[in-house]
Structure 1
Amino acid sequence: MEALIATTGDTIVQSNDTALTTLHALFDCAVQSVSAESAMPRILPEPAHGRLVVVAVGKAAADMMRVARMRARKPVDGLIVTRYGHAPEGLDWPGIELIEAGHPYPDENSLRGAERALEIAHSLHAGDHLLLLLSGGGSALLAAPVEGLSLADKQATTKLLLRSGATISEINCVRKHLSRIKGGRLAVAAGAAQVTTWIISDVPGDDPSFVSSGPTVPDLTSLQMARDIIAKYRIDAPKSVTRALADPANETPAADSLGLAGGDIRVIARARDALSAVATRGTELGFTVSSLGDQLQAEARHLGASHAALARRLAGDGKKRLILSGGETTVTVVNPKGRGGRNMEYALGLAIALDGAPGIWALACDTDGIDGTEDAAGAVVGPDTLARARALGLDPAKHLAENNAYLFFKALGDLVMTGPTGTNVNDFRAVLIEGQP
């Protein structure tokens, strides 16, 4: 199975398997449809008086800033804060500062990125305009712990939350109440300046307040909700975190304090845009397309098993079919040393449940090109996945139980390797049923 291939635009890379070739091309279609180039407005805000400053944060930050510079009528000053390896090598744009930081866990550069963003906001005056280009990943990339909280406390709490099975909205609710920049606080720091926020959304439901924990967006969660989430998942958080979540001073700012009544908060790309583009492409290729939506948040392996059952059922009518879905699944980590990601766990759960069913193929990838903490976007599955694994002495169920889906698919050569894509609307999953000739 030739899985280590990539696609560009409308070009389909040759493969030994037509189904795999199609799946790779469809993933490329999904990514291209939500790229900064496709999604960014053609005209940037132009203040009548004062400065336009652009701050780009998230996994798509470098590409969003590139497009902003290209479309601006005047030279742009600003800041990029992105994940290591997600900016072009040797990036040196006049007036643009670049900070690469840790993800999914914050590091010292995350502290530096947050402080620089706050400094820029504080430097603005009435008549100035802050354009925030926001994409997923910013919750870790911008770390400004509240008083009494250390970076180590934030790192420990983030790890516990990410391993607990909590949804991204729940995780970001807690993060907002432990931060001096999240939950609208960056907008407060901008004072009388106008703030515009353009968002590539990576959260199910596309609530802008949860994308990168909404630095410039009013927050409707509360300290009590954050405490309830810690209790719900039995998070053994550091005592400093417990104290911070009990301190009324760490409540997020009221919406009317943000000065956002006339602000522009716009989601410019989302998972459903990618699914829509792929559904159109799939129909053109002769598939009967079923979209299960862009808000799926179940445990990854369980969702994979349920989609396998659906594919088996639909395969009975002999039609060429394509089953699409998006969202952000969860993974409950039982092996801290395991290597995998949401999409790889989904794919392995699906492969086990398909049990070699003929004519059914699948791809599950993160649209940012990085699934979890590994170097793969995700993985592909085919009718021979389990047979080839067993021929290599691999135990699929054991790999899944130990959160080692990455090692499983790496051994088979079935990882999807794209590198950072420059966008991020979270998970993309496609199950292809070849049908009868």
Structure 2
Amino acid sequence: MPNDTEILHMLFDTALNAALPDGKFNGCLPPKPKGRTIVLGAGKASARMAAAFEEAWGRDGGTCEGLVVTRYGHAVPARSIEIVEASHPVPDEAGLQAAGRILALARTAGPDDLVVCLISGGASALLSLPAEGVTLADKQAINRALLKSGAPIGEMNLVRKSLSAIKGGRLAASIGQAQLVTYLISDVPGDDPSSIGSGPTIPEPVDPDAALAILRKYGIAVPAPIVEAIRSNAVREVPAGGAVHMLATPKMALDAAAAKARELGLTPLILGDALEGEAREVGRVMAGIARSVLMHGEPAQAPCVLLSGGETTVTVRGQGRGGRNAEFLLSLALALKDQGRVAAIACDTDGIDGSEDNAGAWFDGTLFESARAKGIDLEAHLDGNDAYTAFAHLGRLVVTGPTLTNVNDFRCILIRP
């Protein structure tokens, strides 16, 4: 029987495998068109999606062409679809050039052509084609401010759409009469297609006043020309959309982990796939649920695992090397107060927790003993948004490298009798 640490990593790996696009196109491919099949895409999982689509499309002789942009280090080999890399989470010139090329390629589609769009989390930053009157530097500055503000991903993406020439259904509007099919890997709470990658192919009217209200809400000042650009970029007429298929979602990943837990003799309880809020506050709430299991056997009997997904946020106040999953985990551990019957793991399924090199972190019943032995003040690290450093010193980071998928955060709390 694997130990607690091995179980935590096993359940995380199971969730990751369930979120990969491989084999997911079977049964949801459109008919072959008379003309070209043009594949366009963006996101941290888009290169793996492109390779999987090529394999499925080519089984009966189908051919395709196209361009996909992914994060640096996330490219995979593809036969006929060009894969380029750009910066995430802050856009760069490479993303700007890729987005321009993708929009130009979409405009070449004719009525006999099929346009296939592959979108996953990260597309918002990677498709960085500013609206008229907005520069790349403007978008970078606003994006950095939003990342530090603690704004939830839905609000961030609404602002991004208001600054974009390609998001919020604008890519769909550019393909004219061609057939459009969109495949998504969801990294947003609720799996709203218009929020995944800021919905470049999902028709949606964008209210400029709502975007400006979000910027005011978080105290992000923008110059008058940017305000005017946001107002001028409003979508007045909603373009036609196409078929949408969801290849992987947070719930699919949690269901796979739950099934694996049952195989290991553990009772799984999925607390939700769309949990949001401040990472440290969510950690305290989860600690309360864990204590209820230990004291009352509710809402589940130990041995059990509490599983959850979604995307927490961190309002940055300290100068540490944070990451929302590491911050959640450290808050959880401190709220449990050296409870030796609990182990936990929290990771971003894209392999990057915040802006560091780890997917997340884990702890078991020896955490506080190890911290005392090394003179590590866990509370001080939490206060300084420095959970990464604490777990690094304790050898409890989870480092996966690029996972080539992205279904948001995976949290697992293992509780023993």
Normalising TM by the smaller chain, what interval?
over 0.9
Unaligned runs of 5+ in 2: none
RMSD (CA atoms): 1.6
Amino acid at match of 1:29: T
The corresponding residue for 1:259 is 240
Cα offset, 1:299, TM superposition: 0.4
Question: 185, 188, 196: which is aligned to 1:211?
Answer: 196
Amino acid at match of 2:414: L
Cα offset, 1:96, TM superposition: 2.2
Provide the secondary structure at the position in 2 that maps to 1:36: coil
Number of residue pairs matched by the alignment: 410
Question: 99, 102, 111: which is aligned to 1:126?
Answer: 111
The corresponding residue for 2:358 is 376
1:368-406 CA-partner distances (Å, limit 9, x unpaired):
111111111100022221331232222212211221111
Question: 70, 73, 78: which is aligned to 1:85?
Answer: 73
Distance across 2 between alignment mates of 1:189 and 1:274: 34
Provide the secondary structure at the position in 1 that maps to 2:111: coil
1:414 equivalent in alignment to 2:396: yes
Distance 1:393-1:38 versus aligned 2 partners, 3 A rule: farther
The corresponding residue for 1:140 is 125
1:270-299 CA-partner distances (Å, limit 9, x unpaired):
101111111122122222222111110110
The corresponding residue for 2:344 is 362
Distance across 1 between alignment mates of 2:275 and 2:253: 15
The corresponding residue for 1:8 is none
1:198 equivalent in alignment to 2:180: no
The corresponding residue for 1:99 is 84
Distance across 2 between alignment mates of 1:70 and 1:267: 18
Cα offset, 1:187, TM superposition: 0.6
Cα offset, 1:199, TM superposition: 0.3
Amino acid at match of 1:76: C
Matches within 5 A, 1:1-16: none
Unaligned runs of 5+ in 1: 1-11
Cα offset, 1:333, TM superposition: 1.0
Is 1:300–1:330's contact at 8 Å kept on the other side of the alignment? yes
1:25 equivalent in alignment to 2:15: no
1:134-181 CA-partner distances (Å, limit 9, x unpaired):
100000001111111111110110011111111100000010010000
Distance across 2 between alignment mates of 1:42 and 1:68: 12
1:7-56 CA-partner distances (Å, limit 9, x unpaired):
xxxxx9x7xxx001001000111111121014333453344311101112
Is 1:356–1:382's contact at 8 Å kept on the other side of the alignment? no
Is 1:201–1:271's contact at 8 Å kept on the other side of the alignment? yes
Is 1:347–1:379's contact at 8 Å kept on the other side of the alignment? yes
The corresponding residue for 2:291 is 312
Runs of 4+ aligned structure 1 residues displaced above 4 Å come to none
The corresponding residue for 1:9 is none
Question: 308, 316, 328: which is aligned to 1:325?
Answer: 308
TM-score, length-scaled by structure 2: 0.95
The corresponding residue for 1:341 is 323
Distance across 1 between alignment mates of 2:226 and 2:218: 15
The corresponding residue for 1:299 is 278
Cα offset, 1:351, TM superposition: 1.2
Is 1:30–1:275's contact at 8 Å kept on the other side of the alignment? yes
Distance across 2 between alignment mates of 1:40 and 1:409: 38
Cα offset, 1:220, TM superposition: 4.6
Question: 215, 237, 250: which is aligned to 2:233?
Answer: 250
Cα offset, 1:233, TM superposition: 1.5
Distance 1:333-1:240 versus aligned 2 partners, 3 A rule: farther
The corresponding residue for 1:400 is 382
Distance 1:401-1:243 versus aligned 2 partners, 3 A rule: farther
- Percent identity between matched residues is 46
